[in-house]
Amino acid sequence: MNIRLFKPSVGEEELQMIREAFERSWIGLGPMVSAFEAEWEKFTGAKMAVGVNSATAALHLALAAFRFPEGKKVLVPSLTFAATATAVLYNRLVPVFVDSDPATLGMDLEDLQRKYDKDCVAVMPVHYAGHPVAMEKLMPWARERGLKVIEDCAHTAGALYKGAMLGLWGDIGCYSFEEKKLMTTGDGGMMVTNDPDLFRDVKAMRWVGIDKDNWKTAQQYTAANRDAMHWFYEIAVLGYKYNMNDLAASIGLAQLKKLPAMSRRRSEVIRMYLDGLEGVPGVEPLLPFEPENYCYQMFGIRADQRDELMIHLKSQGIATGCHYTPLSIQPLFAPWGRSCPFVEAEYNRFITLPLHADLTDEEVRYVIDGIKVFHAAEIA
């Protein structure tokens, strides 16, 4: 077998939506982006959603929306993808790395308290692998200190935690539609908020500082419309080329319809892993997965012989990974690093196993058997 670690689940539904965009001959920022934003608002319950070309862009703009003074600090987890912390640097702010909770691998709230000081202006919890941070504890802690909260929801989409949608606990939530995520637009992201005033300039900031609906203008471009200033626009804020386009949004609209079924299949696969690996010596789940309650983008284990097991699985055609090397030991972040002792040591036990909606039961059993064979050989 040749089993991929991640795989987008795409087909005829996405192709049909792309064909419609081609037939419209409008494939940039246009009506499909607006439609996708509206559907995402319905899906999450957010008062406002803004589509962008990546979750990295979403995180950058989320911090930029607050216009924090240069040099202020932002609390971020060490165990996350680079974008969470590079967004801080893009805004000329200082990342403060927070260690991982030993069980959930989300932000350790005790270390969060230790790392906080009066120069901190925001905290960026990451729902690692899709497992919720304890937002019912983090939010009052942040509010007492006047901190803004930006949720990095790159690993989740559509999960409720204690009755509230992940992404809407904080001031701004940022989702990812990169090809490996719960759903995809090829590349893309979405920002949400229940405070539309926060997004007053965000639509302009995502498109080089211009907030103008060119699709709407084009539809009004008729002989009957005698306005000679149809071309006019103003640039009042610093912007970036971060807009989502209609091709990506077309894929997103098709994927959103399939998302509940894809999430259910991921949950079934995780349950198979948990049941099948129970009791295997030297192996334990990466975190306390609750597949019946939450939407997970990744599944993994902690293994005493991480590298040897990964080599064995690779020899059997099974792709694996490690998510992630902590940012606090990455060279880029050396000036602020080496500050999270638990995860800087523990990540050497992490193995990410294949998880996607198209994974078959036979393939899942093959992965489980591969792990069991390795450990049986080690014991023998």
pLDDT, tens digit only, all 380 positions of the chain: 999 999 999 999 999 999 999 999 999 999 999 999 999 999 999 999 999 999 999 999 999 999 999 999 999 999 999 999 999 999 999 999 999 999 999 999 999 999 999 999 999 999 999 999 999 999 999 999 999 999 999 999 999 999 999 999 999 999 999 999 999 999 999 999 999 999 999 999 999 998 866 555 555 555 556 666 667 788 989 999 999 999 999 999 999 999 999 999 999 999 999 999 999 999 999 999 999 999 999 999 999 999 999 999 999 999 999 999 999 999 999 999 889 999 999 999 999 999 999 999 999 999 999 999 998 877 66
Instruction: State the chain's maximal CA–CA distance in angstroms.
Output: 85
Of the candidates 363, 268, 284, 374, the one whose C-alpha atom is nearest the C-alpha of residue 4 is 363
Using one digit for the tens of pLDDT, what is the confidence trace for 134-169? 999 999 999 999 999 999 999 999 999 999 999 999
Segments of the chain assigned E as strands: 48-52, 73-77, 94-98, 120-123, 148-153, 160-161, 164-165, 172-176, 189-193, 283-285, 299-303, 350-353
Domains of the chain: 12-257 (3.40.640.10), 259-379 (3.90.1150.10)
Give the torsion sign (CA, 16, 22, 24, 29).
Answer: positive
Distances (CA, A) of 176 to 179, 184, 328, 340: 9, 8, 23, 26
Q: Where are the beta strands (DSSP E) in 18-128?
A: 48-52, 73-77, 94-98, 120-123
pTM (predicted TM-score): 0.95
Q: Do the bridges between strand 160-161 and strand 164-165 make them parallel or antiparallel, or are there none, so unpaired?
A: antiparallel
Tokens of 63: 């911090």
Please list, residue by residue across 69-80, b when 16 or more beta carbons sit within 10 angstroms of its beta carbon and e when fewer do. eeebbbbbbbbb
Classify burial at 313, counting beta carbons within 10 Å of its beta carbon; exposed 0-12, middle 13-18, buried 19 or more: buried
Single-letter code of the amino acid located at 126: V
Give the DSSP letter string of 178-224. Answer: BTTSSS-SBS-EEEEES-GGGGTTHHHHTBTT----HHHHHHT-STT
